[in-house]
Amino acid sequence: MHAKRRLILALAAAAALGLAACERGPAKNAFQGVDLTGADYAQDLKLPDVDGRERSLGDFKGKVLVIFFGYTQCPDVCPTTMAELAQVKKALGTDGERVQGIFVTVDPERDTPELLRAYLASFDPSFVALRGSPDQIKEAAKNFKVYFAKVPGKQEGTYTMDHTAASFIFDTAGRVRVFSRYGSGAQALTDDLKILLAEK
């Protein structure tokens, strides 16, 4: 009798779990980075490229965008991030052609158009560099909630830039979707890009 009752209770519990799963619907794709879907910031980015032409997110619709704020004289975070993105883009094969890397300099004082062009070409010639006036950069960083500040160096007249170490990933419709922290690794970035590339 007790065994029969336990079996009935177990079946009832299993049915309840199954019903709850149905009510929740299919599981959503889980990003490895921070899910920013529906965020009310990082809505657009309007800055000149190295040729002086103003660019905006609308110019890249149809592609998954990976936007990073950094500077060319960065010793570690920036080159590592761009190299990793280039590696992931290449590993994606033909899908990688639908991924666009965008580098926004937070150091327009030293990052000339010529320097930015050469810097990004060393990682992937398809990457786009954006560079504006100090006020334009401040406005763009504010829109993305990106922090950056000049840090005086040991020698007079030298400095480094402290800045947010992460990438913002946008879907093909130009909506911000993922905040990918520095150090997450190539696999995490690959997984998140694959999710967005597969979306209709």
The enclosing domain of 139 has a CATH number of: 3.40.30.10
What does the mean pLDDT of the chain come to?
A: 88
Predicted local distance difference test score (pLDDT) of residue 157:
87
Model pTM above 0.95: no
Contact (CB, 8 A) for 169 and 158? no
Q: How much is the average pLDDT of 148-159?
A: 92
Burial environment of residue 120 by CB neighbours within 10 A (0 to 12, 13 to 18, 19 or more): buried
Number of domains the chain is built from: 1
Q: Which two tokens stand for residue 155?
A: 């020698």
β-pairing, 159-163 vs 166-170, is unpaired
**Number of neighbouring beta carbons within 10 Å of residue 130:** 24
Phi then psi for residue 40, to 5 deg, are -100, 15
Predicted local distance difference test score (pLDDT) of residue 29:
65
β-pairing, 64-70 vs 176-181, is unpaired
Contact (CB, 8 A) for 127 and 101? yes
Whether residue 12 has pLDDT greater than 50: no
Predicted local distance difference test score (pLDDT) of residue 150:
95
C-alpha–C-alpha distance, residues 134 and 81, integer Å: 23
Picking from 9-23, 150-164, 181-195, which range would have the lowest pLDDT averaged per residue?
Answer: 9-23
Burial environment of residue 89 by CB neighbours within 10 A (0 to 12, 13 to 18, 19 or more): buried
H/E segment holding residue 69: strand 64-70
Q: How much is the average pLDDT of 90-110?
A: 97
Whether residue 49 has pLDDT greater than 80: yes
Contact (CB, 8 A) for 128 and 103? yes
Whether residue 2 has pLDDT greater than 50: no
Whether residue 18 has pLDDT greater than 90: no
- For residue 23, tell me if it sits in a domain: no
- For residue 5, tell me if it sits in a domain: no
- For residue 99, tell me if it sits in a domain: yes
Q: How much is the average pLDDT of 183-189?
A: 95
C-alpha–C-alpha distance, residues 56 and 87, integer Å: 25
- For residue 11, tell me if it sits in a domain: no
Q: Which residues span the domain enclosing 58?
A: 31-198
